[in-house]
Structure 1
Amino acid sequence: MGHVTEQVGKTLLFDLDGTLVDSFPGIRESFLHTLTVMDWEIPPEERINRVPGPPMEQTLQDLGMSPEMAQEGLQIYLAHYGEVGWDMSTEFSGMRELLIRLKEQGYRLCTATSKGERFAERALRKFHMFDLFDFMGAAQENGPRREKSAVIRHVIDHVDLTAGDPGLDRVLMIGDRSHDIEGAAQFGIDCVAVTWGYGTPEEWAHARHTVTDAHELERIIHEWT
């Protein structure tokens, strides 16, 4: 029980896609469906591999769509993902078991995902992770909270933390993309980059730590002070 007491007040923010769950097959399917419906050129596979992470409308604008077209594309994407894509995901090995151990050890667990709230909850419930989290921080599917930094602020505001508060040094972000690292950095929060997701070594280089499996992640969390 001493270990539990030691961790009280320590908050872990978990990204979802690429960190807890491999959702790329469904994201890819719905992304390609969106481009086909909009009669838009399909980008190379290397570009498609970088789609998970940022808000979809941002990705569509990066491909050359106007903000208005990107919003239209977002709605096509969400409709298809809600019907087909969301259920094509699988759990990354060892992550649910790690969450259970961290919960038992007294860490406060929150998600901080750019995935919309409805789909985030579906994914977490599918893999029996939802009840392990103290708070689910996610993006709004039809609202202003879309960027990762906005999601992190949403979590901070709802778990008795304050941006700029020294207590944020007891918060750690775990994610796989530059958006996780950069979003956490805006609040002075360290980030652990996981290599089993969708990021690149260039992105991970900006994280405080980089880990290759759930056991290494657990060790880093326990060493973190």
Structure 2
Amino acid sequence: MRAVLMDVDGTMIDSYPGVVASYLAALEQVGASHPEAKPLRQVLGPPMVESFAEAGVVGADIEKARQAYMDAYRADGWTNASAYEGVGDFLQAMKDQQVVLATATSKGDFFTRKVLERAGLLDFFDVVATAGIPGVREFPTKADVVGDAVAQVRAVAAARGLDADEPIDFVMVGDRHHDISGAKTHGIDTVAATWGYGDEAEWAMARARAKDFSELGRVIDGLW
């Protein structure tokens, strides 16, 4: 069995406008500002609290900023996003090959589902692995999210009759170093999505790279 784990922001969805606007609004609420040396696009990828900390937000203001971000994102930030060209065709091609598809994103569960549903992509996925639901089930790091995705894929495999000792070939697709290192923790190779928000140094960490979705399928086939 084969499985592809997909990051969301910067890989399937261009969510830059809504995420960045919500992030900047949150910083303003706590009297902080974005570090000039850090490109704004790199806010996307890691858990948002990491970006707040890098902006100098500390102590109780971290939670205030997180709540302000969620308020802004919930209001209209999540709708200010669009699917990258070719993603639907790629996901359909994977389904046609009987590949198990899973998300592996540091986005929360609620908005992952909302954003993917709005883009017409949610139904492609056998597994939706996310940062979880606050106070219920949380996965604070990308490695934690990938681990949950792997466990859920194995459950899908078992439900389809795959023996427990039969291997599953996993590939991760993501645009940031968090995706690559999180997958490596579980021995999974990553294809860097170079249309996303990372940079050359991050993409160099990956096993392979693709410039768009039309190339991605061929790159994954080469890894398998």
TM-score under structure 1 length normalisation: 0.90
Superposed displacement of residue 141, structure 1? 4.7
> 1:171–1:189: 8 Å Cα contact kept in structure 2?
yes
1:37 has 2:29 as partner: yes
List per-residue Cα deviations over 1:26-52 (Å, max 9, x = no partner).
Answer: 011001110111121243384322100
Identity over aligned residues, as a percent? Answer: 35
CA distance in 2, matches of 1:28, 1:211: 25
Residue aligned with 2:195, SS: coil
Q: How many residue pairs end up in the alignment?
A: 214
In structure 2, the gaps of 5 or more residues are 156-163
Residue aligned with 1:173, SS: strand
In structure 1, the gaps of 5 or more residues are 1-8
List per-residue Cα deviations over 1:59-95 (Å, max 9, x = no partner).
Answer: 1112222243212211110111011110000110101
Match of 1:132 in 2: 124
TM-score under structure 2 length normalisation: 0.90
RMSD of aligned C-alpha atoms?
Answer: 1.7
CA distance in 1, matches of 2:147, 2:125: 17
1:64 has 2:60 as partner: no
Match of 2:154 in 1: 160
Residue aligned with 1:17, SS: coil
Alignment of 1:65-214 (within 5 A): 65-143=57-135, 144-160=138-154, 170-214=169-213
CA distance in 2, matches of 1:41, 1:123: 27
One-letter amino acid matched to 1:136: V
> 2:43–2:51: 8 Å Cα contact kept in structure 1?
yes
Residue aligned with 2:130, SS: strand
40 and 166 in structure 1: CA distance in 2 versus 1, 3 angstrom threshold = farther
48 and 110 in structure 1: CA distance in 2 versus 1, 3 angstrom threshold = same
Match of 1:215 in 2: 214
Residue aligned with 2:9, SS: coil
> 2:5–2:172: 8 Å Cα contact kept in structure 1?
yes
